[in-house]
Amino acid sequence: MRLRNIPGADAAITESVYCIKSPETHKGHWQEIFPSQQPLHIEIGMGKGRFMMDLAAAHPDINYLGIERYSSVLLRALQKMEENPLPNLFFICMDAADVAEVFDHGEVDRIYLNFSDPWPKDRHAKRRLTSRQFFARYDEVLAPEGHLEFKTDNQDLFTFSLEEIPEAGWHLDASTRDLHHDPVLNEGNIMTEYEEKFSSLGNPICKLIASR
């Protein structure tokens, strides 16, 4: 999908107090940017930020970082934050492949992946955020008792993800191919923009939870 460039997006991100510049300089010291030292959860590929903002509002006892590669998308999240600031949430504009350059070993307590790009061609499999290559990156930053949660409506990507977990040396803790009708995994579920859109079209939502 071709993203529309929004003039001034890069400048707005640079000037925003809600977006962390030079994130690699905070490696190993992320707790210092928050008012309180609390568990740290991150979302990789957060889109317009609804999921992160709803989580941060519902769980003030957790610190959150939303990661988005595209400035034109991140701009929408920043605009929302200006309307409703949350002290336990900041954003980073960066590529997911650099996650191990930005977070120290065991610094992250939970990783969220929501409706990631499926990269449908086989030759692009290693670019999928649930590929074994990315699980190796997550392994470098996730706390020993940490978890990764992944949601998608793409059945092929979900099947691929389930297969990659053991290949990456991880463990599948739970999974469902119909989240909204799963009484256990759907409890307390916070929807993303895509989740609301796709489920309204009748697409079942898949979810898995994995750990080392």
> Is 61 annotated in some ligand binding site?
no
Residue 16 lies in a domain: no
Q: Is residue 43 marked as binding?
A: yes
Does residue 60 fall inside a structural domain? yes
Q: Tell me, yes or no, whether 193 lies in a domain.
A: yes
Is there a domain that residue 192 lies in? yes
List the catalytic residue out of 104, 117, 139, 182: 117
Question: Is residue 27 a part of any domain in this protein?
Answer: no
For 128-176, write each residue's pLDDT tens digit. 999 999 999 999 999 999 999 999 999 999 999 999 999 999 999 999 9
Q: Are 43 and 52 in contact (CB under 8 A)?
A: yes
Taking each helix axis as running N to C, give the angle between helix 132-141 and helix 155-167, from 0 to 180 degrees, rounded to the nearest 10.
60
* Residue 66 token pair: 């939303």
Domain assignment of residue 117, yes or no? yes
Q: Residue 144: which domain range?
A: 39-211
Indicate which CATH number applies to the domain containing 197: 3.40.50.150
| In a domain? residue 34 | no
Residue 102 belongs to some domain of the structure: yes
pTM of the full structure:
0.94
> What residues contact 196, with CB distance under 8 A and at least 6 apart?
none
Tens of pLDDT, residues 47-65: 999 999 999 999 999 999 9
Q: How many whole angstroms separate alpha carbon 84 and alpha carbon 210? A: 32
Is residue 109 part of the annotated active site? The answer reads: no
Domain count, the chain: 1
